[in-house]
Structure 1
Amino acid sequence: MSKIFEFSGHNEFFTGVPMYPSSKDSGPFLALHPHANAYFPPCKRARVSTPVVACEGLELKKKTTIEVLPDECLFEVFRRIHDGKERSACACTSKRWLMLLSTLRRDEIFSIKSIQPSEPKEMSDSSMKVDIKSDKNGLVQSTVAESKAAYQDAKVEGYLSRCLDGKKATDVRLAAIAVGTGNHGGLGKLSIRGNNSIRGVTDSGLKAIARGCPSLKALSLWNISSITDEGLCEIANECHLLEKLDLCHCPSITDKSLMAIAKSCPNLTSLTIESCSKIGNESLKAVGACCPNLKFVALKNCPLVGDQGIGSLFSTAGEVLTKVKLQTLNLSDMSLAVIGHYGVALTDLALTGLKNITERGFWVMGNGKGKGLQKLRCLSIIDCSGVSDLGIEAMGKGCPNLKQFSLRSCTFPSDNGLVAFAKAAGSLESLQLENCHRITQAGLFGILVHCGGKLKTLALENCMGIKDLAFECPLLSPCNSLRSLWIRNCPGFGDASLGILSKLCPKLVHVDFTGLHCITDDGLLNLVQSCEEGLVKVNLNGCVNLGDIAVSAIAKQHGETLEKLNLDGCGYVTDVSLEAIADHCSVLCELDVSKSRITNSGIVALANAVQLSLQILSLSGCAMVSNKTLPLLLKLGTSLVGLNIQNCPGISSSGVDSLVEKLWRCDVLS
């Protein structure tokens, strides 16, 4: 070995017989030069590999692979894979195989077209023996047991649901869903929300779902501009069990595909179309004529939908339609007339933003000939400038079974119309008024007096016309049916109105007076003392002039029934209120004293209450609560599932970390 290193310098070149009989034996010391019978130290590795030149008479052997087969041959191979797990495994091999498998229809799979058992339900274990036969092409037919499994798999209606949002919505994922769900019960519900800007969903992905998931019952497409009629028509051709279709912001879909859905999917029960600029009257006509099971229709912001479409829909499907929502459409009085005449099965109707409808349209709808809206139970009218007192009264008379009525952002209805409506609608149970500024104190009390004795819930919100006018109230019969009273953000509502309500509503259980700055302890005390049933939920959020007198009265008189109490923003509430709550409230679950004047002493009273078992406690913005309450909060935490201590400067970050660590079953907001 020492002779190897006997050369004198780096530049010396040695020729002669190789030192090692084989080049492999030289190891890392020396490298064989391809053109000289000499040795020299190895240089750096070449960046570009030189091509291998085959010697004369030497043939390079290529590995045989199934990838050399064209798609047609692979398709024939894949359709003979009857087992779903094996198909899924093949789909994981490459994107090419996945996309090929996604083009397979269920009826094209070889095992389904093979032997069909005559009586699969009565097939015994003895008949499930392996029976392998070869046909003329050498293809192996499936066993009787496999045929039975395939037969049952074809009968599956589909109970799986998948939802793709944003970047997850791609054709590859849809292809994987189409291949993978068939072996696990079949896809029943698919929702695609948003689109991938780089590799978004196209008609190819929807076609894969159509071919691989004939059990699809519900399809929702939201904010997808790349899907056209081609993809949706494939759904119509393959998914005949479709029951629910939801299209929102799909500008490339037209009447063509929706008409195909109507003709091929007779089980369609629910249709929602929103902001689809190319869908119009023709598709609605087809849906009404071809879908005998249609129950729900919602149309919003579709400029091509007009009176002709609504008229055709109700004239053909009016006997089955039960729920309809119409929003921001170019409709006239004619549409409401048709609804009033043909909507014999309607139970829920919502009309929003119909600017072209006048007073006459609502009057005609309420006075529809024949059965009209006899079954209507819920009516919602929002932002319709044409509604007036005359139209509201007509709706009350024409809908004898109406139980819920909501009127929002309508300018012209006044006290006269609402009182007339309350007299006519004898079955009314819930009335909600929002942004109706012509409603005054007289209208509010008139509704309670003439509601027919069935009104259970009354809600007023942002009604600026209500003023707290003091006047002598004659002896009026109380509304003993009213259980829930919501008066929110009506700045003119004060103690005088509460005094009258205390005489008219003795059976209140739920009270919500959010944002009423004018009510004080004296006004609320009258209402609290008049409630005979026992208050269960009380919301006084934003009532800045309420203090300990009213809260203590609520705790003492209704402590055995009170479950939820919200005192957020009641700046005059102190520890006195918490002590009363701790002494008298035995079933209280939720307590919110945010932005109040409570201190550590109030938390001590809550922690020492034996009968109290709070689940949610909010102390947000309580500046006088400090770290001294941490052991008390831990004691309360044995029953708490939610604790809010945001914006409490007296509680340090280390104290918050200690609470989060020890109250591991409680959600702590800090």
Structure 2
Amino acid sequence: MRGHDRINTCLPDEVILEIFRHLDSKASRDACSLVCRRWLTLERLSRTTLRIGASGSPDLFVKLLSRRFANVKSIHIDERLSVSIPVQHGRRRGDQSKLSALQLHYLTEKTGSEDGQFQSESYCLSDSGLNALADGFSKLEKLSLIWCSNISSLGLMSLAQKCIHLKSLDLQGCYVGDQGLAAVGKVCNQLEDLNLRFCEGLTDTGLVDLAHGCGKSLKSLGIAACVKITDVSLEAVGSHCKSLETLSLDSEFIHNKGVHAVAQGCPLLRVLKLQCINVTDEALVAVGNQCLSLELLALYSFQQFTDKGLHAVGKGCKKLKNLTLSDCYFLSDMGLEAIATGCKELTHLEINGCHNIGTMGLESIGKSCRNLTELALLYCQRIGNLALLEVGRGCKSLQALHLVDCSSIGDDAICSIAEGCQNLKKLHIRRCYKIGNNGIVAVGEHCNSLTELSLRFCDRVGDEALISIGQGCSLQHLNVSGCHQIGDAGIMAIAKGCPELNYLDVSVLQNLGDQAMVELGKGCPLLKDVVLSHCRQITDVGLSHLVKNCRMLESCHMVYCPGITAAGVATVVSGCANIKKVMVEKWKVSERTKRRAGTVISYLCVDL
């Protein structure tokens, strides 16, 4: 019956709360909160997660949030993220000036400054704000404080005493000291996840005390650029953190002794990431012998590792699924063969800049690792076609292939992958100059599940390749930046065959014109991100056709497009209700466009 509120009179709070919890997007929840005051209150009670960027008077902001969202269990504060004023479409200049005045009053309330020279501290969470956070969110289980440089041990001690249910703590870039970390270890006995990356104020004392306090519960630990944390800390971790599953180390002050202690004392270790230039094969042999549950191993910038270490891993870590080898110059085909022979469950492999690994090593992966689903080869000059021919024959489950600067890989390799790995979903290729139309045509013919295709600066790829892709695949992501042989015909084929396309980068395509933009507007209504930079033949006319039909457009990059003028920029801003970022030369933005949408416009060059 019209005018009768059946929902609020019949449904109790508990049922409405349960409905809110099942909503799959923040936008839906926000819409529900606007229905009535009761729904607003209940929706606030259903919120369990808050994300906060840098803002004026953050301490006061935290207090206000704690009054509104009492049941929050997860808070993410990242002071690298700026908060800008939302676009006010249709707002008159007078209204905008009132908004600015309100913001000025809000910012000066705590700083006491009225001349616009706000103190930098007003944008940084302090110990006072951390104390307010602890008082207001007693149910907190997960807290991330990213680059909150003004908090100290005092604030962390207050937090630890009041948030005893804390399970995850991220202190990346926070200059906290040993006392605060020790307090967390003493009180937060349920802590499982701890990130100490770039915590320069910490020493072994703090981490040892934490290991003594909550070592039994700790499962994940990350350390990077903590110059005063040494092997002493890792020995304490090995002695007390028997449940540790994930360890990430990036340090010049960690040696074999520390890694060996963890390998010996943490039998449940599943994930190990190392960037420690003073660690040698001795430590990796200990990992291979002791960490039998290891599933992910990432080794970065090691110049002291040889095949001896990989042999130990291949022999002992039978459960290994994910391996990354980056800039490990002394690893060779023999080491990779040991991994292939011993780790047959391998699903993800990345080789980056390991110049002594060649075709033979990757051939062994293709022959032995039948479950491989993702392969990334970056700057691998010695890996040739025969390697991918073997991968195509043996790895039928491959879903993602990434190739960067692999100068010996050509069309024969891509044809083999296309014919053998027909479940391929992602193909990213950059600066592989021997790959041309034949390989990509084969992908279009055989890989009908392909959704992401990136062919950056592959100058032998032309329209013929994209016509095949448009006929055989339904792409959601396409990047053909720098493929100068591609013109209107190829992009029009994509527009007709890929209606679900939401990302497109066609920058530096000198032969692309307005006709392609017209067809994209007709065929790809879901486009959200478009990069048109350095396209000299695209004009305001083509841009207007694109904007007219692509109503979901959120970002548009169009620098160095001489055919696009201030009128075209205004068309994008006024015609796209969801636009969040427009990148263009400063001189192409009119004063009216600046007033209308200044917050979404980014400039390639700014005045000095």
Regarding TM over 0.5, the answer is yes
Q: After superposition, where does 1:177-576 map in structure 2 within 5 Å?
A: 177=62, 181=66, 185=70, 189=75, 191=77, 193=79, 215-220=139-144, 228-251=152-175, 253-254=177-178, 256-291=179-214, 292-318=216-242, 320-352=243-275, 354-368=276-290, 372-374=291-293, 376-451=294-369, 453-466=370-383, 468=384, 477-499=393-415, 501-502=417-418, 505-529=421-445, 531-556=446-471, 558-559=472-473, 561-576=474-489
Native 8 Å contact 1:478 1:506 kept in 2: no
SS of the residue 1:647 aligns to: coil
SS of the residue 1:657 aligns to: helix
Give how far 1:599 is off: 2.4
Partner of 1:80: none
Native 8 Å contact 2:52 2:76 kept in 1: yes
Equivalents in 2 of 1:481, 1:335: separation in Å? 38
Equivalents in 2 of 1:347, 1:209: separation in Å? 33
SS of the residue 1:517 aligns to: coil
Equivalents in 2 of 1:473, 1:177: separation in Å? 57
Q: After superposition, where does 1:66-215 map in structure 2 within 5 Å?
A: 161=50, 163=52, 165=54, 168=57, 173=59, 177=62, 181=66, 185=70, 189=75, 191=77, 193=79, 215=139
Matched, 1:632 2:545: yes
Native 8 Å contact 2:400 2:427 kept in 1: yes
Q: Which amino acid aligns with 1:594?
A: S
Equivalents in 1 of 2:77, 2:316: separation in Å? 39
Equivalents in 2 of 1:612, 1:167: separation in Å? 38
Native 8 Å contact 2:459 2:484 kept in 1: yes
Structure 2 CA distance for partners of 1:498 and 1:338, relative to 1, 3 Å: same
Structure 2 CA distance for partners of 1:476 and 1:240, relative to 1, 3 Å: closer
Structure 2 CA distance for partners of 1:441 and 1:500, relative to 1, 3 Å: farther
Q: Which amino acid aligns with 1:493?
A: I
Q: Which amino acid aligns with 2:455?
A: L
Give how far 1:457 is off: 0.5
Partner of 1:136: none
SS of the residue 1:446 aligns to: helix
SS of the residue 1:540 aligns to: strand
SS of the residue 2:456 aligns to: coil
Structure 2 CA distance for partners of 1:179 and 1:562, relative to 1, 3 Å: closer
Partner of 2:108: none
Native 8 Å contact 2:513 2:542 kept in 1: no
Q: Which amino acid aligns with 1:356?
A: N
Q: Which protein is richer in helix relative to its size?
A: 2
Partner of 2:103: none
Alpha-carbon RMSD across the aligned residues, in angstroms, is: 3.8
Equivalents in 2 of 1:427, 1:300: separation in Å? 30
Equivalents in 2 of 1:207, 1:244: separation in Å? 18
Native 8 Å contact 1:306 1:329 kept in 2: no
Deviation track 1:567-606 (CA, whole Å, cap 9, x = no partner) reads 2211111222234334544544444333221223334444
Q: Which amino acid aligns with 1:245?
A: L
Equivalents in 1 of 2:483, 2:271: separation in Å? 39
Match among 510, 513, 528 for residue 599 of structure 1: 513
Deviation track 1:36-80 (CA, whole Å, cap 9, x = no partner) reads xxxxxxxxxxxxxxxxxxxxxxxxxxxxxxxxxxxxxxxxxxxxx
Give how far 1:409 is off: 2.0
Structure 2 CA distance for partners of 1:584 and 1:225, relative to 1, 3 Å: closer
Match among 604, 610, 621 for residue 534 of structure 2: 621
Native 8 Å contact 1:390 1:417 kept in 2: yes
Equivalents in 2 of 1:437, 1:280: separation in Å? 37
Structure 2 CA distance for partners of 1:223 and 1:569, relative to 1, 3 Å: closer
Partner of 1:134: none
Equivalents in 1 of 2:387, 2:198: separation in Å? 51
Structure 2 CA distance for partners of 1:207 and 1:418, relative to 1, 3 Å: same
Give how far 1:438 is off: 1.8
Give how far 1:487 is off: 0.5
Deviation track 1:186-221 (CA, whole Å, cap 9, x = no partner) reads 775474849965677766665566567655545555
Give how far 1:328 is off: 0.8
Native 8 Å contact 1:459 1:486 kept in 2: yes
Native 8 Å contact 2:388 2:417 kept in 1: no
Give how far 1:340 is off: 2.6
Native 8 Å contact 1:403 1:428 kept in 2: yes
Matched, 1:658 2:571: yes
SS of the residue 1:658 aligns to: helix
Deviation track 1:216-264 (CA, whole Å, cap 9, x = no partner) reads 545555556765544443444444333333334555612x332232122
Equivalents in 2 of 1:220, 1:587: separation in Å? 35
Native 8 Å contact 1:351 1:381 kept in 2: yes
Equivalents in 2 of 1:388, 1:578: separation in Å? 47
Seq. identity, %: 27
Q: Which amino acid aligns with 1:633?
A: L
Structure 2 CA distance for partners of 1:635 and 1:420, relative to 1, 3 Å: same
SS of the residue 1:387 aligns to: coil
Deviation track 1:403-452 (CA, whole Å, cap 9, x = no partner) reads 2222212211122211221221111111112222222233333322221x
Native 8 Å contact 1:246 1:272 kept in 2: yes
SS of the residue 1:259 aligns to: helix
Q: Which amino acid aligns with 2:377?
A: L
Give how far 1:454 is off: 0.3
Partner of 2:34: none
Deviation track 1:66-105 (CA, whole Å, cap 9, x = no partner) reads xxxxxxxxxxxxxxxxxxxxxxxxxxxxxxxxxxxxxxxx
Deviation track 1:314-337 (CA, whole Å, cap 9, x = no partner) reads 22222x222221111522223332
Give how far 1:360 is off: 1.6
Native 8 Å contact 1:251 1:278 kept in 2: yes
Deviation track 1:285-330 (CA, whole Å, cap 9, x = no partner) reads 3333332322221122223322232122122222x22222111152
Structure 2 CA distance for partners of 1:363 and 1:185, relative to 1, 3 Å: same
Equivalents in 2 of 1:414, 1:657: separation in Å? 56
Equivalents in 2 of 1:330, 1:394: separation in Å? 24
Equivalents in 2 of 1:402, 1:472: separation in Å? 22
Structure 2 CA distance for partners of 1:572 and 1:192, relative to 1, 3 Å: closer
Q: Which amino acid aligns with 1:240?
A: I
Native 8 Å contact 2:296 2:321 kept in 1: yes
Give how far 1:362 is off: 0.3
Equivalents in 2 of 1:555, 1:273: separation in Å? 47
Native 8 Å contact 1:448 1:504 kept in 2: no
Structure 2 CA distance for partners of 1:487 and 1:494, relative to 1, 3 Å: same
Native 8 Å contact 2:555 2:580 kept in 1: yes
Equivalents in 1 of 2:504, 2:466: separation in Å? 12
SS of the residue 1:513 aligns to: strand
Equivalents in 2 of 1:274, 1:475: separation in Å? 37
Number of aligned residue pairs:
498
